Amino acid sequence: MDLVALQNTLDNGAFAILLVTTLLYWAGVAFPKVPGLAVLSTAGLAIGNLCIAGLLGARWLEAGYFPISNLYESLFFLAWGLTTFALFAERMGESRLVGAVTAPVVMCIAAFATLTLPVGMQVSAPLVPALKSNWLMMHVSVMMLSYAALMVGSLLAIAFLVVSRGQPIHLKGSSVGTGGFREGRLNHTAAQTDPLPGGASFSSASGGTAVLTPVAAKEAPTLSIQRLTLAETLDNLSYRVIGLGFPLLTIGIISGAVWANEAWGAPWSWDPKETWALITWLVFAAYLHARITRGWQGRRPAMLATAGLGVVWVCYLGVNLLGKGLHSYGWFF
């Protein structure tokens, strides 16, 4: 089988599928009542994910090493990570907004890698000697997965900021347990209903409560679950996905430091990429701490996460513009 031709089909295919998927997600948000859109858009994202996995697999076979050594390969690995974490978050939060904000970004990455990147930078090239190490696969793949998770989390924080415009905000989830308690006074009427949002794309697992309501509502005293609103769901999703990206980033940085120490005798040398990875780590550490700080409730943590999105991109691509070194993918202008 011609692996190069297969790769060409798969990268163009991934782009086309992600384009359609993006439109499906947006249509689903605009017309939540249209049947089938939810299934189709999720299926599109999953197929895009598999296409990219196939592309990377073909590369691996062709080049003989794990394919994240040039910009083209790393962009597609990032796209694969983004779709994987988006599917994970969508499953966890049962919200189509996840796909609506992540699919366009993945589509843009695929478009950039396939259409804009010069062909000379798309072909696989042999590794430089300094990178011929088993640490490469471990270090780079974990770093890229952490970028992907942090990006999905930050995009969800942006969606949260948009959805929660003009609403009072109660953060959901933190290391001390922010948001586990009932907001406002409990009203002791039998007819209390779940404050389910009329939100378009929030399909809740309401089966459980539907069974419960007749039982619980018969006589006072009754209690019912104060359900998460759409904004609160997005907030907690964003927190959880960032909470997954943060350990990955930590492990990625540590593996890089151990590699550098074993190879050159210096775990940390403040090279720009290292420094920006540390900056990313610090910004998201600040985000995690902002959620448990009394004076930083409300929108501020989400704003920090939004700023974090920019920091991740600078760490991933911006550092290339500063110059050469082992961490550079090369650039084309």
For residues 194 and 133, give the distance between their C-alpha atoms in angstroms, rounded to a whole number.
Answer: 56
For another protein, the closer of residues 59 and 273 by Cβ is 273
Cα dihedral 244, 268, 276, 109 sign: negative
The only residue of 36, 221, 324, 333 in contact with another protein, by rule CB under 8 A: 221
By CB under 8 A, name the one of 25, 77, 147, 239 that touches another protein: 239
* Minimum separation from the CB atom of position 330 to another protein (A): 19
Answer yes or no whether residue 225 interacts with another protein by CB under 8 A: yes
**Which region among 5-13, 38-46, 58-66, 227-235 touches another protein (by CB under 8 A)?**
227-235
Smallest gap from Cβ 117 to another protein, in A, equals 25
Instruction: Identify the three-state secondary structure at position 95.
Output: strand
Tokens representing residue 184 in the block = 């406002």
Residue 83 in contact with residue 52, Cβ under 8 Å? yes
Contact between 233 and another protein per CB under 8 A: yes
Q: How far is the CB of 271 from another protein (least distance, A)?
A: 9
Amino acid type, 313: W
Q: Which one among 236, 302, 306, 316 touches another protein, defined by CB under 8 A?
A: 236
Cα 10 to Cα 13: distance, rounded to the nearest angstrom: 5
Q: Does 207 bind another protein (CB under 8 A)?
A: yes
Residue with smaller CB distance to another protein, 107 or 304: 304
Residue 2 beta carbon to another protein: minimum distance, rounded to whole angstroms: 29
Subset of 269-328 contacting another protein (CB under 8 A)? 270, 272, 275-276, 278-279, 282-283, 285-286, 289-290, 292-296, 319, 322
Question: Taking phi first (over 0 means left), then psi (-120 to 50 degrees means alpha), and beta for anything else, what does residue 227 get?
Answer: beta
Site for another protein in 3-42 (CB under 8 A): none
The Cα 98–Cα 81 span in angstroms is 14
Q: Is 189 helix (H, G, I), strand (E, B) or coil?
A: coil
- CA-wise closest residue to 242 among 312, 137, 317: 312
Which of 7, 102, 164, 174 lies at the binding interface for another protein (CB under 8 A)?
A: 174
The C-alpha atoms of residue 34 and residue 144 are separated, in whole angstroms, by 36
In the region spanning residues 85 to 114, those forming contacts with another protein, defined by CB under 8 A, are: 92-93
